[in-house]
Structure 1
Amino acid sequence: MAQLIPLGSLGAPTSAETMREALSGGGCSSSSCGSSDGAGDLPPELWDRIKDHPCYSEEAHHYFARMHVAVAPACNIQCNYCNRKYDCANESRPGVVSEKLTPEQALGKVIAVANEVPQFSVLGIAGPGDSAYDWRKTKATFELVSRVIPDVKLCLSSNGLALPDHVDEIAGMNIDHVTLTINMVDPEVGTKIYPWIFHRGKRWTGLDAAKILHERQMESLDLLKARDILVKVNSVMIPGINDEHLIEVNKVVKGKGAFLHNIMPLISDPAHGTHFGLTGQRGPTAMELKALQDRLEDGTKLMRHCRQCRADAVGLLGEDRGQEFNLDLRPEEVVYDPSQRETYREIVAVERGEHVAVRKAASAEVSGLQAGASVLVAVATRGGGRINQHFGHATEFQVYEASAKGVAFIGHRKVEQYCEGGWGEDATLDGVIAALEGVTVVLCAKIGDCPKDSLTAAGIEATDEHAYDWIEAGIAAWYAARYAPAEQLLTA
């Protein structure tokens, strides 16, 4: 099978032919791939608003990239899981940045990215402080970018404390996506998460602080809903503090109209210097996170593909090209060229049509087998919805569940890259195997005998037999070969 160029590597200068080959591998034509319909049960007008937003649409995250600009350093609350002073180019977590930007510098960076990353569709401001509290810089940045690139979607993240003061301005701009971080709806729980807040010129602590924050967050939800602004709620899962409580949080935010609920695992490495990290508060395991998400399937629609991005992240989810566009690497003046993004959108519409059809067929195939087995499948992918990455090159695995319900994406597992310069480290492989807890099989483009044998010894199958297939098609083929009853195989 021909080698595919990964979506994540597309950049200017790139011809339409190269883009088309990168996306389809030569196997798709506009007359045979169907439409780009991927709305499912969503109303068409809602699908149109989220279809190219990688954070609001799981389907879109295979094709479109986000960009965060770090223009809002000031924050009005302290979270026990946050330390914005920490900065490491290799660290991926909220609040981390390599450089803080003025609105004018941010505009230059956005133009540079738009010219080089044709997948770019969403500009977000997620700090490193709070975008609504540092509103003057947030607003100025969005205004500058909208004049130059009017089609880019604008998105902001906030803790909700200051947001009600600016919701009318938000509604008057091209901002129809807002993310609110809500970790509690019971202020008593909030006292264990927030040591203080700063509101109306005064620092508040304890229960008073948690009550004010809760009230303002609920007000933010109501005001945004009234103005038809889509809201994604982020919640950090903190075992022993709010893990069970998040069931109630999900119920409340659903009742107030949140479109998505994203439950993220606590990151509490002591090296980050956070309160939770230094006091030994652990984060949830991947299976604990999945168990909670599974309990909430009947609540607000869940986002399971979050990567807990840096506040200066650039690129497809799961990658970060931000370091390529730092100030010292960019020309002082750059002119926006829309041609790459326009060409990409035309081509990807066809590719998405084929992928949607494959996803539906794969789920129907798996559910139709009536095998009864529910298994987790880890996939090494570089983007584009394909099984297109070498096992040893993966820094994360996308995890799918194959069951009587079909094939569904359920999350990802971050790992340290096993193969560096042609060699693999045993200690690194041990870490990868540990990260694949609960996984039955790994599908990848290539895998060596040594890691394959180690995975087998750990009870995890690994295969490259489905290299460069669509992810869902590869999963369905593997599942059918392993679990289909003999009578179904004979009649297939």
Structure 2
Amino acid sequence: MGNFDHLAKTHPCLGGEAHFKYGRIHLPVSPSCNIQCKFCRRGFNKSEVRPGVSSLLLTPEQAVETVKKALTLCPEISVVGIAGPGDTLATDHALETFRLVKKEFPHLINCLSTNGLRLAEKAEKIVEAGVETITVTVNAIDPKIQKDICSFVIDGDGKRLEGEEGAKILIDAQLRGIKKISELGVIVKINSVLIPGVNDKHIKEIAKVTKELGASILNIIPLIPQNELSHLEAPSCIMLDKCRGEAGEYLDVFRHCKHCRADACGVPGKNQDIHGQLYDKEVVETFSHG
């Protein structure tokens, strides 16, 4: 496992300088999710630039071929990331893909994004698959706040948990997972969606607690008002800067996020996306083993 300073020089989602020099490819291999955030609306289309969106699903085998093609189109790619369109740990597709990618392209950095519900449970398998950096989306560490952000959680037995009960299960799992994966040597970034009137005064607490558990950097993502939170307004630049300043007292803050799609590819700081060249046909594909 590399250290944070080293990885930040070549990982465009960890370091500001790398953001303008190096590329990443997001492989859309994870079809389903085990929680429902109130701001999240997963979908398949060609136009929206936001997380949870892809134009297709790839099998792990197709994903490897896609990386091969992407490297010919964009040699600056240094990171293979999996961030959806569902949760990467809700099924085994992401870890299977990483194992194949690591074998074929050992020089690339493997990066996984997750809601953290199954992070502690799968920590060893994540390391075995060759994952070096992980992003955990933590929007609250207080169940009273989390219940207003997450509609429900599906536990390991398939039971749907709502309200504070579900919120507590999620938070406990996230915090245990962050601590465990950090201790195993994986670099941890925290993503927090900034939701005005809900968690804007709470982001600094997330930074403080996750830093103590081993996180290296925080990315505060402005809310895109949609789904159950479509009635809210996006945070102002003033609110975003204030939250970044408060959180930055505890944890380094990443300031270059582009709200990337689950099938994004290219150098993000240059607004270069080779998606259209990468996929010959813009169709939604599904696969059976999931």
Give the TM bin, normalised by the shorter chain: over 0.9
Shift of 1:321: 2.0
Distance 1:162 1:128 in 2: 16
Letter in 2 for 1:319: Q
Match of residue 135, structure 2, among 162, 168, 179? 179
User: Where does residue 105 of structure 1 map in the other structure?
Assistant: 62
Distance 1:168 1:254 in 2: 21
User: Where does residue 95 of structure 2 map in the other structure?
Assistant: 139
Contact kept, 8 Å, 2:73 with 2:274, in 1: the verdict is no
Q: Which runs of 5+ in 2 are unaligned?
A: 283-290
Distance 1:45 1:305 in 2: 21
Relative to the length of structure 2, the TM-score reads 0.92
User: Where does residue 177 of structure 2 map in the other structure?
Assistant: 220
Relative to the length of structure 1, the TM-score reads 0.55
Shift of 1:281: 1.4
Structure label with greater radius of gyration: 1
1:301 is aligned to 2:248: no
User: Where does residue 207 of structure 2 map in the other structure?
Assistant: 250
1:316 is aligned to 2:282: no
| Residues 324-378 of structure 1, C-alpha deviations (whole Å, 9 max, x = no match) | 211438xxxxxxxxxxxxxxxxxxxxxxxxxxxxxxxxxxxxxxxxxxxxxxxxx
User: Where does residue 130 of structure 1 map in the other structure?
Assistant: 87
Letter in 2 for 1:114: L
* SS of residue paired to 1:143: helix
Identity %: 37
Which one scores higher on RCO, CA 8 angstroms, separation ≥ 6?
2
* SS of residue paired to 2:219: strand
What is the 5 A alignment of 1:255-404? 255-269=212-226, 274-277=227-230, 280-317=231-268, 318-328=271-281
| Residues 204-241 of structure 1, C-alpha deviations (whole Å, 9 max, x = no match) | 11111000001000101110111111000000000000
Contact kept, 8 Å, 2:119 with 2:178, in 1: the verdict is no
* SS of residue paired to 2:78: strand
Distance 2:116 2:193 in 1: 15
Contact kept, 8 Å, 1:99 with 1:326, in 2: the verdict is no
User: Where does residue 285 of structure 2 map in the other structure?
Assistant: none
* SS of residue paired to 2:14: coil
Distance 2:7 2:185 in 1: 11
User: Where does residue 63 of structure 1 map in the other structure?
Assistant: 21
Shift of 1:53: 0.5
| Residues 1:292 and 1:45: Cα distance change in structure 2 (over 3 Å) | closer
Distance 1:175 1:166 in 2: 12
Shift of 1:173: 2.9
Q: Which runs of 5+ in 1 are unaligned?
A: 1-43, 330-492
User: Where does residue 51 of structure 1 map in the other structure?
Assistant: 9
Distance 1:235 1:106 in 2: 28
Moved over 4 A (4+): none
Shift of 1:45: 4.8
Shift of 1:323: 2.4
